Structure 1
Amino acid sequence: MHPARPFLETDTDTLITRARAHPFALVCTTDGRRIHAAHAPVLLDETDGNPVLRFHLSTANAATSALMAGSNALIVFTGDHAYVSPDWYGQDDQVGTWNYLSVEAEGPVTHLDDAGATRLLDDLSALFEAGLSPKPTWTRAKMTPGRFEAMLPGIRAFSLAPSRFEGITKLSQNKPQSARDGVITALSAFEDSIAIASHMRKIRS
């Protein structure tokens, strides 16, 4: 987490929207000796306005063993990001940096039973298959009877109700408006950086 307070993001709605837009996240945990990290698609639900995250990992993953033993998890979502050249500030003696959006969700996890794991997998398929339209939607009903149930022990599914839910919105807020304008103009010329330029425009002072 970046230590500069101007970049701290705590608005729950903003964080939920950001995590949903970038659902492939990094799940971190520890067994007391090593830190383990695993990539996974993470679904973010809301219960009484509070975020609840659901994800699954391979049963053979070391991170899974740590979670099953009671370790907390830290889930990190990386949003839009771009390198910022010091040439773009219009100021002397600057250095390069990185503007980015992120979300961190930390807390204890709950192991989901087979029914909960099945719901998670169905929900994941429904969400991501919808983005492939007009391709016909895949569902596990297309599988050979019994095959899904035979494969289910290969994963472990979890939910996490964060005790800490915050992120970083680092968009050159620590620079004067003239410097930010220079960065926005420069980033807008690069296809991979247009999204960050757009975010920067929204916080113009």
Structure 2
Amino acid sequence: MRQNPDYALEDLAGIKELIRAHPWCIFVANTPAGLIASHYPVMLEESDDDELVLLSHVGRPDEVKLGLGGDGESGELLAIVQGPHGYISPSWYGYRPNVPTWNFATAHLYGVPEVLSDAENLAVLHRLVEHFESPLPDPHLLDSTEENSEYAQRIVRGTVGFRMRITRLEAKEKMNQDKPAESVRNIIEQLRAPGPYSSPALADRMERVNTEKLNTEKLEGPE
């Protein structure tokens, strides 16, 4: 991924927040058959230290395609997490010349997956379902009934869980940090307005990333 110091996302807490907010992940493996990509949700293995660990699973036979060796011999995986993104028109900056661009937040996470036992996989599946079901008024949990519990056992047999300790990463957040506050504010307004490139989620993230710049402008006022 092309690096730019203006857009670097180096804060580990910020990267973890991106993963929590956008857990739909692309896993890419370089296998003897070529590049293979699969899509699955992820969770963080929460801890108090500075380690970044992903928990996930794949449906069989994706574990074979991705090279998740049951004998413990797995190859390196690339996990790609992507936050809100969208087109930014040069007409939104309030000055010219400018070029079209795309704002985005993403993290590229590398590590060698560790295949989980059936018991560990079941525990991860329980956590995953509970995480996404808990906001609902009538959560449908894997172990809420005896019938659900039996169904959960069948799911475990059809999936392979894994833990992925991240050994290297690249993260980037391009939210017009290098532009004047007036332009940033105008772009945010355009993203919140109805139109072909409306993206309230991207506008919210832009506002959060540029909070200090926008607040400084308010405090200083016009010259």
TM-score exceeds 0.5: yes
Q: Give TM-score, length-normalised by structure 2.
A: 0.82
Q: Give TM-score, length-normalised by structure 1.
A: 0.88
Write out per-residue CA displacement over residues 45-65 of structure 1, whole angstroms, 9 at most, x where no aligned residue: 233422211000012126654
Question: Match for residue 219 of structure 2?
Answer: none
Question: Match for residue 10 of structure 2?
Answer: 10
**Distance across 1 between alignment mates of 2:20 and 2:66:** 26
Report the Cα offset of residue 3 of structure 1.
2.2
Question: Match for residue 47 of structure 1?
Answer: 47
Could you tell which deviates more after superposition, 103-112 or 187-196?
Answer: 187-196
**Distance across 2 between alignment mates of 1:179 and 1:124:** 40
Larger radius of gyration: 2
**Distance across 2 between alignment mates of 1:63 and 1:173:** 42
Instruction: With a CA cutoff of 8 Å and minimum separation of 6, indicate the structure with the bigger relative contact order.
Output: 1
One-letter code aligned to 1:187: L
One-letter code aligned to 1:193: S
Report the Cα offset of residue 127 of structure 1.
0.7
Given the superposition, is the C-alpha separation of residues 201 and 145 from structure 1 closer, same or farther in structure 2, using an over 3 Å criterion?
closer
Given the superposition, is the C-alpha separation of residues 197 and 94 from structure 1 closer, same or farther in structure 2, using an over 3 Å criterion?
same
CA RMSD of aligned residues (A): 2.2
Given the superposition, is the C-alpha separation of residues 87 and 44 from structure 1 closer, same or farther in structure 2, using an over 3 Å criterion?
same
Identical-pair percentage: 27
**Distance across 1 between alignment mates of 2:121 and 2:91:** 50
8 Å CA contact retained: 1:58, 1:64: no
Q: Pick from 184, 202, 205 the counterpart of residue 199 of structure 1.
A: 205
Question: Which structure 1 segments of 5+ residues have no match?
Answer: none
1:161 matched to 2:165? The reply is yes
Q: In structure 1, the residue corresponding to 2:199 is in which secondary structure? A: helix
Question: Match for residue 72 of structure 1?
Answer: 76
Could you tell which deviates more after superposition, 182-191 or 45-54?
Answer: 182-191
Given the superposition, is the C-alpha separation of residues 183 and 122 from structure 1 closer, same or farther in structure 2, using an over 3 Å criterion?
same
One-letter code aligned to 2:166: P
Which runs of structure 1 show a deviation greater than 6 angstroms over 4 or more consecutive aligned residues? none
8 Å CA contact retained: 2:57, 2:161: yes
Given the superposition, is the C-alpha separation of residues 36 and 87 from structure 1 closer, same or farther in structure 2, using an over 3 Å criterion?
same
Q: Pick from 106, 111, 117 the counterpart of residue 107 of structure 1.
A: 111
Question: Match for residue 93 of structure 2?
Answer: 89
Could you tell which deviates more after superposition, 169-178 or 55-64?
Answer: 55-64
One-letter code aligned to 1:39: H
**Distance across 2 between alignment mates of 1:44 and 1:54:** 6
| Alignment length (residue pairs) | 204
Given the superposition, is the C-alpha separation of residues 47 and 64 from structure 1 closer, same or farther in structure 2, using an over 3 Å criterion?
farther
Report the Cα offset of residue 122 of structure 1.
0.7
8 Å CA contact retained: 1:57, 1:157: yes
Q: Describe how 1:115-194 pairs up with structure 2 within 5 A.
A: 115-132=119-136, 134-140=137-143, 141-143=145-147, 146-190=150-194, 192-194=198-200
Write out per-residue CA displacement over residues 104-127 of structure 1, whole angstroms, 9 at most, x where no aligned residue: 221111010111111111111111
1:28 matched to 2:28? The reply is yes
8 Å CA contact retained: 2:110, 2:168: yes
Report the Cα offset of residue 136 of structure 1.
4.1
Q: In structure 2, the residue corresponding to 1:127 is in which secondary structure? A: helix
**Distance across 2 between alignment mates of 1:201 and 1:94:** 21
